[in-house]
Amino acid sequence: MEKTKKKGLLVVSFGTSVHKTREKTIDAIEQALQEAFGEFTCYRAWTSKFIIRKLRERDQIQIDTVTEAMERMFKDGVTDVLVQPTHVLNGIENEQMIAEVSACQGWFRSVCIGTPLLAGEEDVADVAEAVAEEFSWLPQEEALVLMGHGTSHEANEIYAALDHCLKRMGHDNMFLGTVEASPSLLNLMERVQAYGAKKVTLAPFMVVAGDHALHDLSGEGADSWKSQLEDSGYQVRCVLKGLGEYPKIRRLYVKHAEGALRIC
């Protein structure tokens, strides 16, 4: 007799140690996916072992790694798995996740893996639209500076593609850079100066408004983007809202999961 089919939905995030932003972002994305795939049992995994360890030691909260979550689903009798990452791009973390999932693939009847937020040209246009919609209140004479994470992986090119897309859509006052790669804040400041803006709105281009947003973006330290812009004479406003808080972004993750099921 064929084994009864039991579906599992694994939502994989980098993770965050800031509970307030997790509730508004990762939790909200998981909820949107659970609502879209009601017949699936929902599971969570994070890829940052540092954050997993921090939560375990600081808050006594246990979060599964990808392998642990796959083992949990197998023990729970799940036969068919849908994996949806909340990663922004297909960089090091996402590739590592795929490798870990693939190593466990033989335990299940089927394993489908969705793509991260920015996986192709259509995604770039959709995300640019979501950002422009979120900041539609911004006056044209003011600049929006978005802080992405950045990576040494070749996928980092997607940040420049998104910046170009915003410009093609007519949002010449919107600029996207990264905290750990390129374009850097120095690159962006040159562009903001050329644009002629006196006021700058800073916002994270990250799923969560976590440590990078609280310290590297809006912190009072001399090296934060806020401090550097203020030192250069700009009036700065910080909007600490992660991408996971944008309804349109959450819908895109659902769309990617649906696409994974169609082609799996």
CB 86 within 8 A of CB 12: yes
- Mean pLDDT, all residues of the chain: 96
What would the pLDDT profile of 167-194 be if each residue is shown by its tens digit?
999 999 999 999 999 999 999 999 999 9
What would the pLDDT profile of 20-48 be if each residue is shown by its tens digit?
999 999 999 999 999 999 999 999 999 99
Q: Is the pLDDT of residue 1 over 50?
A: no
Catalytic residue at 171? no
Which residue of the set 87, 149, 171, 256 is catalytic? 149
Q: Return the axis-axis angle of helices 247-263 and 26-36, rounded to nearest 10°.
A: 50
From the number of C-beta atoms within 10 Å of its C-beta (0-12, 13-18, 19+), residue 184 rates as middle
Average pLDDT over residues 59-80: 98
pTM: 0.95
Residue recorded with tokens 């999932």: 101
